[in-house]
């Protein structure tokens, strides 16, 4: 189930993340396993999360490979080290919507959101590259803590995609 999309002005937000290349075939195995590493790195540095974890889709080629960051927002800018990178989610206008349900439904929810935006004449902040679409900020924000709600059909995920200026 996808909520009615809304337009929001979001501020810049610093974060820590691990970047990986995945395919649609292995995304569900690779990315969820990374969350504990990012949270562990933050804990070891004494840095508190400033919000729920997210997946940031940098480059998308659904038929080949995607570049995705598994991130956690932080209150102030930080420096990464080792495999952990520091970044800033860009400020700007975003289309946001809430998906309630199993994560396996997110691809369909994303398709619905993309279709809705096309029907509104909205343009995404993305460019074409030789490896696929490069997005400024295309997020799945995982609001539900699996330790608190094990029923995946009740999970809430916010989709937040940056619009072109």
Separation CA 48–CA 94 (nearest Å): 25
Question: pLDDT tens, position by position, for the chain (165 residues)?
Answer: 889 999 999 999 999 999 999 998 898 888 888 999 999 999 999 999 999 999 999 999 988 899 999 999 999 999 999 999 999 999 999 999 999 999 999 999 999 999 999 999 999 999 999 999 999 999 999 999 999 999 999 999 999 999 998
Separation CA 101–CA 149 (nearest Å): 12
Output the pLDDT for position 7.
97
Which CATH architecture best describes the domain 11-92+123-153?
Answer: Alpha-Beta Barrel (3.20)
Output the pLDDT for position 85.
97
Output the pLDDT for position 47.
97
Output the pLDDT for position 30.
86
How big is the CA angle at 144 (ends 73 and 20), to the nearest 5 degrees? 50
Question: What tokens were used for 48?
Answer: 């508190």
Among 105, 162, 113, CA closest to 139: 162
Global pTM value: 0.95
Separation CA 103–CA 153 (nearest Å): 8
Q: What is the CB neighbour count within 10 angstroms for residue 160?
A: 19
CB 138 within 8 A of CB 57: yes
Q: What is the DSSP secondary structure assignment for residue 136, as one 8-state letter?
A: S
């Amino acid at each position: 189930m996808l909520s009615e999309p809304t337009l929001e002005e979001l501020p810049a937000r610093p974060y820590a993340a691990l970047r990986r290349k995945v395919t649609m075939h292995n995304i569900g195995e690779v990315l969820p396993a990374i969350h504990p590493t990012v949270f562990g790195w933050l804990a070891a540095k004494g840095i508190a999360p400033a919000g729920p974890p997210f997946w940031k889709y940098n480059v998308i080629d659904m038929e080949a490979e995607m570049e995705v960051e598994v991130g956690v927002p932080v209150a102030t800018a930080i420096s990464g080290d080792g495999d952990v990178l520091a970044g800033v989610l860009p400020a700007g206008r975003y289309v946001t919507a809430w998906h309630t349900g199993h994560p396996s439904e997110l691809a369909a929810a994303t398709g619905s959101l993309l279709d809705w935006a096309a029907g509104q004449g909205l343009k995404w902040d993305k460019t074409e590259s030789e490896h696929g679409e490069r997005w400024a900020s295309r997020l799945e924000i995982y609001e539900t803590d699996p330790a608190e709600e094990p029923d995946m059909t009740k999970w809430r995920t916010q989709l937040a995609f940056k619009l072109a200026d």
